[in-house]
Chain A
Amino acid sequence: MLEASHLECQRGDRRLFAGVDFRLDAGEMLFLQGKNGSGKTTLLRMICGLSHPVSGEIRWKGESIHALGETFREELCYLGHLNAIKEELTPLENLSASAKLAGEALNEDEALDALEVVGLLGREDLACKYLSQGQKRRVALSRLVQEKRALWVLDEPFVALDVAAVSWLAGLIGAHLQRGGLAVLTTHQTVDIPAGAIRELKLS
């Protein structure tokens, strides 16, 4: 479903990577590895269509993601290393705002359920600036609970989470793969994700 061929990336005069190929089918996960600065985040942003490769192409169901445009973005869920939450808004407001902007209907009960799952019930009416780093990350992750999109692109999703939350998130990603979803992720932590097929790609 998701294919990349001969991807090359340059930042200024420096070539980050070249000749990157991979292929990912339904229910599979791609685990990106590499040192700091090896271009993991850049590759993830390329998969989303935020950055453009110098050469090479990324295809979704056989068509270039840039040609697909909105059709591809409807199936994509990206969680960057920034949380994309507003400090002034409460977790509940953040969650419903991001659902609305993503074009999804999310009623208040569903939103509260999602916040309960990530362990933020009781904090749903507190502005996010009063939350800890890990709790902010949980607000960002609450988006994934109701997420029905096929392709998840996750940049360091386990950062700032406690042990219980890490295993919960691993289970969530596993369930997503079980439903036939795809996931691409990077992490420096050793996490056991219950996935059938894990492909690994090392950038150097």
Chain B
Amino acid sequence: MMGMVAAITARDLKLAMRRQADIVSVLFFFIIVASLFPLGIGPEQDLLRKLAPGVLWVGALLATMLSLPKLFADDFRDGTLEQLVLAPQPLGLTVLGKVLAHWLVSGLPLALLAPVLGLQFDLSSDALLVLTVSLLIGTPALSGIGAIGAALTLGLRGGGVLVSLLVLPLYIPVLIFGAGAVDATVAGLGAEAHLSILGALAIGGVFFAPWATAAALRIALE
């Protein structure tokens, strides 16, 4: 069963490597959004430190958003999605494989890039570490929840905008606890509580979202 999940993840990763422009554009978007704030606000260190968690998390959220419409669209257009639905395994597992691949090419690089961008906001090394950890825990939830939105808007005109309207409100809890973890560290409080809730959201997102996504995909193919 897990072999199937690995097979679909491997296929999606191979495809992503052949279309690197998609990955790079998401990362550049994140870099530019996160860099505009220090440039616009000016070198006021206290203010920047205060803004950093929110700005970096919102940036990561919007960058993830940018990569969502493509999650199922290509498979839908070339007929591969029909074959995936007809494969003799639960569709939820197939979706899990795709969500995993999506995280590996969007969430993971965003999390690894974040500490470098955090330096522009004069964050301490503790805060940078918590920022990375919070993104590592939180971005799987973003991929999972995002998959539901991507599946619901599949085949619709202007699906890209619609997916943002659908998914961004659902990202709010992840944003609050993700940015909250960094905030707490900056304020000298522990981040454990925030990170635990973030972990719970991620587990919920990754394990329940694929089933909702599978139902939405079946409707899209009907």
Interface residues, chain A, with chain B CB atoms under 8 Å away: 48-52, 70-71, 73-74, 76, 78, 80-89, 93, 97-98, 100-103, 127
Contact = CB atoms under 8 A, between A and B. Distances in A.
Interface string B77-93: 11110111111111000
B222 A50 contact: yes
Nearest to A99: B7
B88 A84 contact: no
B88 A102 contact: yes
16 contacts: A48-B82, A49-B86, A50-B86, A50-B222, A51-B221, A52-B222, A78-B83, A80-B79, A82-B82, A86-B80, A87-B78, A101-B11, A101-B87, A102-B88, A103-B88, A127-B18
A51 B79 contact: no
Interface in B1-30: 4, 7-8, 11, 14-15, 18-19
Interface residues of B, number: 25
Contact of B88 (A70, A78, A98): A70
A48 B84 CA distance: 12
Contacts of B89: 70, 103
Contacts of A49: 86
B82 A102 contact: no
A98 B221 CA distance: 19
Which 8 residue pairs across A and B have the least CB separation, nearest first? A82-B79, A88-B18, A84-B79, A74-B88, A100-B7, A73-B88, A70-B88, A84-B80
Contacts of A100: 4, 7, 11
A83 B78 contact: yes
Interface of B: 4, 7-8, 11, 14-15, 18-19, 74, 77-80, 82-90, 94, 221-222
Given A93-B14, A103-B4, A80 B82 contact: yes
Contact of B78 (A71, A82, A102): A82
B93 to A, nearest CB: 11
Given A74-B88, A103-B4, A98 B222 contact: no
Contacts of A97: 7, 11
Contacts of B78: 82-87
B18 A101 contact: no
B121 to A, nearest CB: 38
B13 to A, nearest CB: 12
B79 A101 contact: no
A5 to B, nearest CB: 21
A102 B8 CA distance: 11
B4 A86 contact: no
A78 B4 CA distance: 19
Contact of B18 (A71, A76, A89): A89
B84 A101 contact: yes
A91 to B, nearest CB: 14
Contacts of B83: 78, 84, 98, 101-102
A89 B15 CA distance: 7
A45 to B, nearest CB: 8
B217 to A, nearest CB: 11
Nearest to B7: A100
A78 B86 contact: yes
Contact of B15 (A73, A74, A88): A88
Contacts of A76: 86
A50 B74 CA distance: 18
Nearest to B4: A103
A51 B222 contact: yes
Nearest to A72: B88
Contact of A50 (B7, B11, B82): B82
Contacts of B11: 97, 100-101
A102 B4 CA distance: 9
A148 to B, nearest CB: 13
